[in-house]
Every structure is written in structure tokens, then in C-alpha cells.
């Protein structure tokens, strides 16, 4: 129980919620599109059931990810993927229409939500598993479940508000991208293959994490600077 009162636990919870807010915007759009043809009385059920199914599936995927991250070199691969995701946040691709088919049947819409969320959740799963690494190993899955449960109402009810805030205050996106870089740095530093050769201590861990955050910022800003004016 003491582990749940530590600063590292609540820091990891905060990171998971931040990740879901930043990377869950598209998921909220997918839910809305998949359920748009349902009768009004069933629309709320479709959103709730679809989101619940997607969250359960995501917890299972993250449980696998947490186990896999103990294999040498996989954390390094995960860290590189997180750096790429962070840079993508800073340099978004040109927006297109979401190619999501809607259904006028409740379970058809729920199935669409779950499948689409599964396809789109690789970044969320990886980032959340990385954030959970900061907590005690015995409580990592409980932490993931808690963080996801807290983020559900944000994704369902507050996603549009969050998206508007991100449009008005772009620094939120920048900080979120740097958070992914920070987690990537921590993930690479704790890879079992490199652990015997790296100096131990919290200062080194923070230094590598900060380097990851700054690397994402530098690469993202560099790409933005090289983009022609008016390019999407």
C-alpha cells in the first residue's frame, strides 16, 4: 500500500493521463464516427460499450508490452519508436478524412470502435507501458489500469475541449511530445542489455531522460524549420 503513496507512482499516473489526452484525440473522433448512424437512444450505449471494449483490449496489450520490455534491446526499440511518435506530435501529417465505416446496429458500431482503436493504439500502448516502468514492478499493471480508468471520461467527454485547448495553447503539444522523449530516454537507460555498462543513480536516469526530451524537441523544430511555408 505504501507504494501507492509514493511520488513516483503519482508521477507515472500523471504521465499516463497526459499520454491518453495527447494520443486519444483520434480515438474520440473514431468513436463518434463509428456511432454516428446509430439511433439516438443507442448512441450513448455504443460509445460506452465500444470504449469499454477498447480499454479492456488495451490493458491486455499493455500487460504483454510490460512483459516484453524485460527482454534485452526491446526497450531500445521501444524508445526509438517513442522518439518517432514524439516528433510526429510536433510535425503532424496533413489531415485527411477518417476512413471509418459507421453502422446503424449497436454491436456493429461497437465492433468498429474496438477494431479501429486496436489499430490506432500502438503508440498509446507503448507510451503507457514506458510510463508505467517508473513504478514498482508489482504495481505496474494496476497503475496502467488506474491511469486508463481515469482517462476514460477525458476521452469520452472532454476530448473536444482538450483538442481546442491544444489548438489555442500549442505549448501543450510541445510539452507532451517532450514527455514522450523523456519516457523514451528512461526506457533506453533501463534496458537490461545496457544496464551492466551504464552508471547507476537517479541523476543519470534524469540526464538521459532529459536528453530524450530535448532530442524530440530539436528534431521536431528542425523539421518544422525546413518545411516550406504553407505546407501541411
The pLDDT value given to residue 25 = 60
pTM beyond 0.75, yes or no: no
The pLDDT value given to residue 108 = 81
Element of type H or E holding 210: helix 202-226
Confidence band of 210 (pLDDT split at 50, 70, 90): very high
CA 109 to chain centre: 23
Q: How far apart are CA 149 and CA 33, in angstroms?
A: 22
Q: How far apart are CA 111 and CA 22, in angstroms?
A: 24
Q: How far apart are CA 154 and CA 158, in angstroms?
A: 5
How big, in percent rounded to 5, are the helix, strand and coil portions of the chain?
80, 0, 20
Confidence band of 17 (pLDDT split at 50, 70, 90): confident
Query: 72-122: per-residue pLDDT in tens?
Result: 888 888 889 889 888 887 886 544 445 555 566 788 878 877 776 666 666
Query: 29-76: per-residue pLDDT in tens?
Result: 667 667 777 887 787 788 778 778 877 887 888 888 777 777 888 888
Query: 136-150: per-residue pLDDT in tens?
Result: 666 677 777 777 777
The pLDDT value given to residue 95 = 45
Query: 153-170: per-residue pLDDT in tens?
Result: 766 665 556 656 767 888
The pLDDT value given to residue 94 = 47
Number of alpha carbons in the 13 Å side-chain half-sphere of residue 190: 21
Amino acid at each position: 500500500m505504501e507504494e501507492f503513496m509514493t511520488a513516483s507512482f503519482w508521477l507515472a499516473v500523471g504521465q499516463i493521463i497526459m499520454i491518453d489526452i495527447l494520443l486519444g484525440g483520434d480515438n474520440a473522433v473514431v468513436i463518434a464516427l463509428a456511432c454516428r448512424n446509430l439511433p439516438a437512444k443507442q448512441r450513448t450505449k455504443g460509445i460506452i460499450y465500444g470504449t469499454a471494449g477498447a480499454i479492456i483490449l488495451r490493458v491486455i496489450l499493455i500487460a504483454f508490452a510490460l512483459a516484453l520490455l524485460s527482454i534485452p534491446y526491446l526497450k531500445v526499440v521501444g524508445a526509438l519508436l517513442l522518439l518517432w511518435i514524439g516528433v510526429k506530435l510536433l510535425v503532424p501529417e496533413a489531415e485527411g478524412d477518417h476512413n471509418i465505416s459507421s453502422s446503424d446496429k449497436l454491436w456493429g458500431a461497437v465492433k468498429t470502435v474496438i477494431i479501429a482503436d486496436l489499430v490506432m493504439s500502438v503508440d498509446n500502448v507503448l507510451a503507457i507501458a514506458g510510463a508505467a516502468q517508473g513504478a514498482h514492478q508489482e504495481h505496474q499493471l494496476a497503475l496502467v489500469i488506474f491511469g486508463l480508468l481515469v482517462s476514460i471520461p477525458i476521452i469520452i467527454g472532454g476530448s473536444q475541449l482538450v483538442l481546442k485547448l491544444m489548438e489555442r495553447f500549442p505549448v501543450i503539444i510541445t510539452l507532451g511530445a517532450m514527455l514522450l522523449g523523456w519516457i523514451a530516454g528512461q526506457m533506453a537507460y533501463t534496458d537490461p542489455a545496457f544496464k551492466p555498462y551504464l552508471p547507476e543513480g537517479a541523476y543519470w536516469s534524469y540526464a538521459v531522460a532529459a536528453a530524450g526530451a530535448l532530442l524530440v524537441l530539436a528534431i521536431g523544430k528542425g523539421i518544422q524549420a525546413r518545411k516550406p511555408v504553407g505546407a501541411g
